[in-house]
Structure 1
């Protein structure tokens, strides 16, 4: 396997892994990322965890194909249950919803002992993941946003440290930055602007539906959505103009 055989998303995740680390890839996507870690000599050892039988068998086949059975351990199990305490330095969880990632980390909290880095790529619900970090002693140390095949992904990296540090002395409130991403907001990339423009389109559709509704509660909900759209408009304006943002 060579670098061009894995997605831009997975390669970016791999770039956040310290060289020589012992890594767990939870929900291993047929062990593609695990294979890349080993073939590129990034990780010294990888645990590839899969819950369902089909992907588990595909991961076993992939590892056998590259002859890496001695350095990649494919295990079937739920979340961090596939790990022993102190077995890995880095945990990667990618391609799941933010709520599911939070549940995996919460339920497997005892397996985080000895882990120094988390590399997490939620498909949705990034705010939930950042909030979990903030509330559980993990410092968001880096994040990036990318677009591949028309889909926008955010990758969040956390290390042991001071959870509040990324949110201090910023031009947006902590609650806003949990949604926006403190590092992403500082960078203000075109991809972040596209993400929030798409969010605006979604909320506008909701508002249009509410305005057509005759239910009494629809009017109240419409006002809430209008407030959300107003906030998003402010975000988009700042992203397009790159001017200092305002606190709402």
Structure 2
């Protein structure tokens, strides 16, 4: 109802904007659109939505994705499914960094894990918010390490060593 009202208030006829209620991409027919924008939810849910309508996804040219979480998993899915990241941006709103990913059809080499976290195109472009983005990733990893440091057994684990290595790798990407 809100979408219908917005379309009407902006003088856009139904033949310009079609408002639909549906589950993920299920309200679309294959070939009906060439670009899909999915925003405001976790990357894992985005993958579920895209996987849930393969017939629609295979006819798309462009994906615009703004994951609230699990961005590395979403980036991995993009490359595994023969898409690639054409462009990425960072936006700061109310103290929070948002990642925006534009994916295009076409196979490319899977980026290394750290670049799946940082964003391969973000790392290439090095936008002004990149340092803030990496610091946010570091903050999350340091919280994990701090929690593990409360247990002697956890501090001796391979997982703890991996977290410490990851913190070091992220820290090394703070200067360029």
TM-score (norm 1): 0.64
Does 2:126 align with 1:188? Answer: yes
**1:146 and 1:154 in contact (8 A); partners too:** yes
Report deviation, 1:110: 0.9
Matched position secondary structure for 1:92 = strand
Does 2:175 align with 1:237? Answer: no
Instruction: Figure out how many residues of one structure are paired with residues of the other and give that number.
Output: 175
1:118 & 1:230 partners in 2: Cα distance? 33
Gaps of 5+ in 1: 1-56, 168-173, 243-248
Matched position secondary structure for 2:139 = helix
**Cross-structure match for 1:135:** 80
1:96 & 1:228 partners in 2: Cα distance? 26
**Cross-structure match for 2:29:** 84
TM-score (norm 2): 0.87
1:225 & 1:195 partners in 2: Cα distance? 23
Could you say which structure has the greater relative contact order, defined with CA pairs below 8 angstroms and 6 or more residues apart? Answer: 2
1:143 & 1:239 partners in 2: Cα distance? 18
Does 2:6 align with 1:62? Answer: yes
Return the structure number with greater helix share.
1
Over the aligned positions, Cα root-mean-square deviation in angstroms equals 2.1
Does 2:117 align with 1:179? Answer: yes
Matched position secondary structure for 1:189 = coil
1:207 & 1:175 partners in 2: Cα distance? 19
CA distances 1:84-125 after superposition (whole Å, capped 9, x unpaired): 111001111111100000000001111123211111111111
CA 231–188 in structure 1, closer or farther in 2 if over 3 Å, else same = farther
**1:188 and 1:239 in contact (8 A); partners too:** no
Does 2:141 align with 1:203? Answer: yes
**Cross-structure match for 1:113:** 58
